[in-house]
Structure 1
Amino acid sequence: MSDLFEDDASPDAGPGGNAHEFSVGEISGAVKRLIEGEFGQVRVRGEVGRCVLARTGHLYFDLKDDRAVLAAVSWKGQVARMSVRPEEGMEVVATGRLTTYAGQSKYQLIVDDIRPAGAGALMAMLEKRRAALQAEGLFDPARKKKLPYLPEVIGVVTSPSGAVIRDILHRLRDRFPRKVLIWPVAVQGEKCAPEVARAIAGFNALSPGGAIPRPDLIIVARGGGSIEDLWGFNEEAVVRAAAASEIPLISAVGHETDTTLIDHAADVRAPTPTAAAELAVPVRLELMAWTAEQGGRLRRALTRGLAQRGQRLRDLSRALPRPDSLTENARQRLDRADAGLEAALTQMVAMRRLQLSRTAGKLHPALLTQRVDAARSRLAEKAGLLPRALTTLTERRGARLDRAAARLRPAGLERDLAQARRNLTGLMQRLRSAARNAEDRRARKLEALERLRLSVGYTETLKRGYAVVRGDGHVVTTAEAAGAATALEIEFRDGRLPVAGRGATPPAAPKKRGRGTPDDQGSLF
């Protein structure tokens, strides 16, 4: 290759010389082979500049220092295997191979792996991410939920093959055995962050009462390690999943001195996985002892309270009067009321009978007949006067209108006069209608009074089989009055029958009826 470039630089090579002509592709291929042969696998340290993740999943970024810029690219599969994603401003050590891109006449680094340049850079990036997530409110204490006192089901997100899960199960068994669901995940490397985030979201997606019970508490646990080993728990996806969890979450990542971003987003941080199990459940024996102690206190308090209230009741009962003395006055009043009840009822019946007699006297048939006759006379008198009064009133109003019309003859007044006459005619018709209505009302009232008179009169009683006895023109109600009368008259439903009085020849006694004698009705006397 050096000979090739030396031939191109020979003094004979000039315009019109015999120098070899290369195509662009040949030159690009020669440069590509030269660079890849000299720099097959290299590690480059620099600061990440422009960083772009394409829709295809490939990552394009720049590595730069104070003197130069190197283009770098990681393909989709390489990006998925990265434990740390490059971010702008981060100082990293990239491992890969140097090659060229003929389409733009540039060389670039194909990055297989990337690591932070040191703990300082990692901590700077971690602090920057922590500040951004805290500004969103993901670490706000108001978002944190209270742990259940005694969860029925505990979900554990950890590696199923490590010592962490054995420590948690052993501690739970010693304190208070509970149902445990394990969601196996990778706890370091490029798969750690997405698997932990999916595990937290998966536990929250379980339906209460389903085939797989939904946990009441989640523990995310991992043993200790370096900052690079624990880096998966600093990823943004894990922090957001922990903050969005509706189930209370305990973070137990690393040992007591290790701190990750999931510790800030979790509801409670445990210094170790064993401590997380202690925070999850109480000690069963201590709880049983406390319950027994509280039960004893409750029994003693109830016994003491009942004794005090019994003594208080006995003290109060001594001050109460005897039951007989409380009812003596009431029994005496009841006896007095019982003794006067019969006399009071008799007096009330007499008073009501007197009131009934007075009311019956006011409703005497003769008085009702007189009132009806007087009302009928007044109605007939007023009915006879009403047409004459209406005619007189009409004539007077007509004469008055004629005189007014004679004085006021203009055409407008003639129209007014005609309108007035029509109004007068309508008024007369309304007056006649009102008179007829008044007459009808009075007639209906008179008919109602007549029906009342008939209903309370003695004629209705005669129809039911009774008779009225009169002596010397007066109603006789006793046998003595009938014997003293000179002439008697009996009124039946269909007429009156005169009978002999005192001194008259009594009628012959009726003959006794025998068998075959007709059933004849004899005289009453």
Structure 2
Amino acid sequence: MDLLDDDIEDAPEPGSNAHEFTVSELSGAVKRSIEDQFGRVRVRAEVGRVSRPGSGHLYFDLKDDRAVLAAVTWKGQAARLIQRPEEGMEIIATGRLTTFPGQSKYQMIVDQIEPAGAGALMAMLDRRRKALAAEGLFDQDRKRPLPFLPRVIAVVTSPSGAVIRDILHRLRDRFPTHVLIWPVAVQGEGCAPQVSAAIRGLNALAPGGPVPRPDLIIVARGGGSLEDLWGFNEEAVVRAAADSAIPLISAVGHETDTTLIDFAADRRAPTPTAAAEMAVPVRADLAARLAEAGARMARSQAQGLQRPRQRLRDLARAMGRPSALTDGARQRLDLQGARLEPALRQTVRARRDRLAGRPMPAATLRQFTAAKRHGLDRAATRLDMARARRLDRPRDRLSHLQERLDSSLRRVEATARRAIVTQHARLAELDLRLVAGLRRGQVQRQEAIERLDRMRLSLGPEETLQRGFVIVRGPDKRVITSPEAAAQAPRLDLHFAGDRHVAVRPEGAPDKPRRRKPAPPDQKTLI
């Protein structure tokens, strides 16, 4: 920078006739000095943030532990690079230094890149990740399931960023719930201690205290470079997330960003908005599922009672009438009885004829009659016993089936009754929660309506007139908004606050005689 040095050394005292540089002249002198001094350089550094806009140019940072150098590769040269720069890589970049006057900064035009290593930060991050994984902090069996419907959600993030607004907006759309915000720094030196203290402080809250204990914690931050997100790679943050007794969702950075808290958290969300979607279900879907469950319960209850009744009727039809079991025997008995009388008469006639031809001693006749009577009595007894057995067996079987059917019906009714009681209790609980949510929504909407009404009143025409404004109308009662239209109008009607009117005539307007109406007591008229 010879030109600048000479100018500074030869600069006269203030107030003298010194040369005045323009900004462009000074920027051009700096540009020529840097390009002459550093025509071709090789820089070994770690790649920081990489940007690939739609123009095709490649913008990235070259850094070490003390400084950062902006670098750019133009579109034509970027297409010929063998190795594309990636964040965290250690490279050797070859190019030339120049300046960018539009932002008053210097930068390096890179036309060749050679890989030199994985980068100090990435190597340190990998060593830390392996050490913490060896302790079991990232094991899957340590992770807890998220609550289905958390009553209180704590969000650990910056209160002034867009992240908290996105989370609150998505929670309000899906299922409004109570949200605790623990403000922390999301980058810089204070990030790690504040985030770890927030996680441990939320876990230390006692149930039923003045500050409700959250059911779920969301640690959120927007996207950024590796340096911006480095606070979430600190060991204190990882251990606090792993030791948290409350389920924790990590929503740090965008989907392509990965930090160590993502491995220790119970669930990782690609974006803060996705974390809100994981935290709560959609209230409309729950209402639809509840209605469907109620309908299914009613149908199941009706079917649970209808099916045993129908089964009992079917079994009863299959068993038939008890009298049908004896109809055949009764009919056979009738047939045999009808045939018995002629047979007896014939037998008696035959015996009588035999006795008439050969008289039988009275003793023999009595003996024969007694034997036959005894045989007939035994046959009658056997017939009665057989008929009783024939009737008792179906009756016993019918009674046994009836007992089984009654027992099954009682079991089915008891099971259905218990299920109905359980579903009614669950339905009552969900109904109370739904009514509470609807009331909260009504209160919020009522407050919004009141705010809008107050805004309407403050921005209304009467309030505007009270602040000193005037409505100008012409003879046709139309509002005049330009000075040209006001100059052409023969008469102007000025409307002030309090419904007061003043009629004026612009300069140069024709003076037309007209009958003037007497003005009301609270109005003034000027012509």
TM bucket, shorter chain: 0.3 to 0.5
TM-score, normalised relative to structure 2: 0.39
